């Protein structure tokens, strides 16, 4: 819900990653480190954020930034949770150049090959991921920002009304997102 609050205020965090998510003693997830945050629809001259979690449009110079960059990053975080810490485009020995190359390669693939990139034979933890969870992550990691799940849901007056397509996803069935 924190991302929704930012986006209702026309702010894009631009650096959503596990290290910037803090769990309070009451179990609430908080977003930290707003050093890369910017106004929506701004054109960037330089890349920003952490490359392993950055949307393609954050990596490329002269890109218009929308809330879709945070949706991509959120999917990378969820992927890392599913995969026990591994981000989709990073490995322990990857530098920024290798990550950028991985993102570019991924974005050039068709949908079936992107899904295989993300979920086929990466490691044993893949078997624990449900098809619905994989579908949610893949739909948020769409290479075209306007095609990412949730990007058509951004006209809301309150955070609770943002992203109904994500909130209503079957992945969240039975999960109380209001707590």
Which residues make beta-bridge pairs with 11?
39
> What confidence score (pLDDT) does residue 28 get?
87
Average pLDDT over residues 47-53: 87
In this prediction, residues 43-57 reach a mean pLDDT of 85
Read off the pLDDT band of 157 (50, 70, 90). Answer: low
Show the tokens assigned to 105: 């390669």
- Report percent pLDDT > 90 for the chain: 34
CA 52 to CA 150: how far, in whole Å? 21
> What is the structure's pLDDT at 23?
93
Q: What is the pLDDT of residue 129?
A: 46
Would you please indicate which residues are annotated as catalytic (active-site) residues?
A: 15
**127-149 residue pLDDT tens:** 444 677 788 899 999 999 999 98
* pTM score of the predicted model: 0.84
Q: Extract the tokens encoding 113.
A: 């090959």
């Amino acid at each position: 819900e924190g991302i929704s609050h930012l986006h209702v205020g026309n702010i894009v965090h631009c650096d959503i990653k596990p290290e910037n998510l803090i769990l309070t003693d009451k179990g609430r997830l908080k977003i930290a480190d707003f050093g890369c945050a910017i106004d929506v629809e701004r054109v960037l001259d330089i890349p920003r954020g952490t490359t392993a979690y950055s949307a393609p449009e954050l990596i490329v110079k002269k890109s218009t930034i929308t809330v879709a960059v945070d949706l991509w990053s959120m999917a990378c975080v969820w992927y890392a949770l599913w995969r026990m810490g591994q981000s989709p485009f990073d490995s322990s020995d990857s530098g920024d150049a290798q990550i950028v190359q991985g993102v570019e390669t991924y974005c050039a693939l068709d949908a079936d090959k992107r899904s295989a990139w993300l979920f086929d034979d990466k490691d044993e933890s893949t078997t624990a991921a449900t098809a619905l969870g994989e579908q949610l992550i893949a739909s948020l990691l769409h290479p075209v920002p306007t095609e990412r799940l949730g990007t058509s849901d951004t006209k809301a007056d309150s955070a609770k009304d943002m992203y109904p397509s994500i909130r209503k996803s079957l992945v969240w069935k039975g999960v109380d997102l209001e707590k």
